[in-house]
Amino acid sequence: MNSITRLLGTKYPLIQGSLAHISTYPLVAAVSNAGGLGTLSSTGLNSKQLALQIQRVKELTNQPFAVNLTLLDANVETLVKIVIEQKVPIVITSAGTPKRFIPALKTAGIKTLAVIPNVKIAKKMESLGVDAVIAEGMESGGHIGQLTTMGLVPQVVAAVNIPVIAAGGIADARGVLAVQALGAQGIQVGTAFLVAEETPIAPEYKQAVITADDMATVVTGNGADAVRGIANGLTDRYFQMIADNAWPEELDKLTTGSLQRAIHGDVATGSLMAGQVAGMITKVEPAATIVKRLMNKVEA
């Protein structure tokens, strides 16, 4: 996994995946200080707020960190300016094409990694000049594609000549060894970090992840709108509305702002985004402990 640590400038080939509204500076700095790559979420932030988050990370660590840009966000252009101004070392893009931003990011010396759900998009990202792809399987929490990590990673590894990082379904050192065997040179982890001490989500959300079992998550929506989270009152209502042929606008009304509701502790009508490995998560721990557990076999 050496090419990834060289690329990222980290001790470990481990990325804490962006968690929308959740991976703020305390988590990011803690992961980077522990030898991984912390990733700031820029979702819902304006340029001033993003600049402040970046400055806070820099106050807490001198290690590399990343900013996630979700490319469909209306203000993404202004956020790109901020990451360049603030000399953020690494950008991780998702939900769209970074094509128009790659030249400016390259000129600024910023490494760019793209989250991808299939081989076609992986090849497209390689042709745009990204430094590595993050192949994310549908075991993941949050927005997902259609392929599993097991199916996706080896096919992406065979198709591109840039490093491949695996995401989705990795919660401990066994998962790290498994994706290494599939040809991945690094890992990205989301769900395991949701319950880190440093995340700003309500204890009720963390508890829902801790009590979840293997069958606890469901997927709502489809295509680009598919989201994996823990089944609850929100998802029950969603599936009932689908069965009743509800209008898309009514479904939007149900889901809009639902992740923020969960973050504030509303586990009944909030979206408890989490991956299938929620069933493996047993307690709230410092991010550094989670990093150590993920990496202990790699170090050996």
Ligand X SMILES: Cc1cc2nc3c(=O)[nH]c(=O)nc-3n(C[C@H](O)[C@H](O)[C@H](O)COP(=O)(O)O)c2cc1C
235 binds ligand X (CB under 6 A): no
Q: Which is nearer to ligand X, 91 or 254 (CB)?
A: 91
29: buried, middle or exposed (CB in 10 Å: 19+, 13-18, 0-12)? buried
Total residues at the site for ligand X (CB under 6 A)? 30
In contact, 229 and 274? CB cutoff 8 Å? yes
Which residue in 136, 172, 198, 266 binds ligand X (CB under 6 A)? 136
Min dist. Cβ of residue 31 to ligand X (A): 12
Min dist. Cβ of residue 212 to ligand X (A): 12
- Encoding tokens for residue 234? 């929100």
Q: Which is nearer to ligand X, 131 or 136 (CB)?
A: 136
Min dist. Cβ of residue 247 to ligand X (A): 27
Per CB under 6 A, the segment of 51-59, 83-91, 244-252, 269-277 that binds ligand X is 269-277
Binding mask 57-86 for ligand X (x = CB under 6 A): -----------x-x----------------
| Rounded distance between C-alpha atoms, residue 71 and residue 86, angstroms | 19
Residue type, 12: Y
Which residue in 27, 115, 184, 208 binds ligand X (CB under 6 A)? 115
Min dist. Cβ of residue 92 to ligand X (A): 7
Min dist. Cβ of residue 214 to ligand X (A): 13
Binding mask 1-30 for ligand X (x = CB under 6 A): ----------------xxxx-x--------
Q: Which is nearer to ligand X, 63 or 93 (CB)?
A: 93
Q: Give the orientation angle of helix 233-243 with respect to helix 248-255, to 10 degrees.
A: 180
In contact, 54 and 40? CB cutoff 8 Å? yes
| Rounded distance between C-alpha atoms, residue 129 and residue 217, angstroms | 35
Describe the chain by its helix, strand, coil percentages, rounded to 5: 45, 15, 35
141 binds ligand X (CB under 6 A): yes
Q: Which residue has the tokens 């889901």?
A: 255
Residue at shortest CB range from ligand X? 190
Beta bridge pairs of residue 91: 67, 112
Number of Cβ within 10 Å of residue 218's Cβ equals 15
142 binds ligand X (CB under 6 A): yes
Min dist. Cβ of residue 245 to ligand X (A): 29
Alpha helix (H) residue ranges in 39-114: 47-60, 76-85, 102-107
- Encoding tokens for residue 85? 């101004």
Binding mask 182-201 for ligand X (x = CB under 6 A): ------xxxxx-x-------
157 binds ligand X (CB under 6 A): no
Which residue in 275, 281, 287, 290 binds ligand X (CB under 6 A)? 275
Beta bridge pairs of residue 228: 142, 219
Q: Which is nearer to ligand X, 98 or 168 (CB)?
A: 168
Strands 65-70 and 38-41: parallel
CA distances from 195 to 98, 253, 268 (A): 30, 28, 18
140 binds ligand X (CB under 6 A): yes
How many CA atoms within 13 Å lie on the side-chain side of 32? 28
In the complex, the residues that contact ligand X under the rule CB under 6 A are: 17-20, 22, 41, 43, 68, 70, 94, 115, 136, 139-142, 167-170, 188-192, 194, 273-275, 277
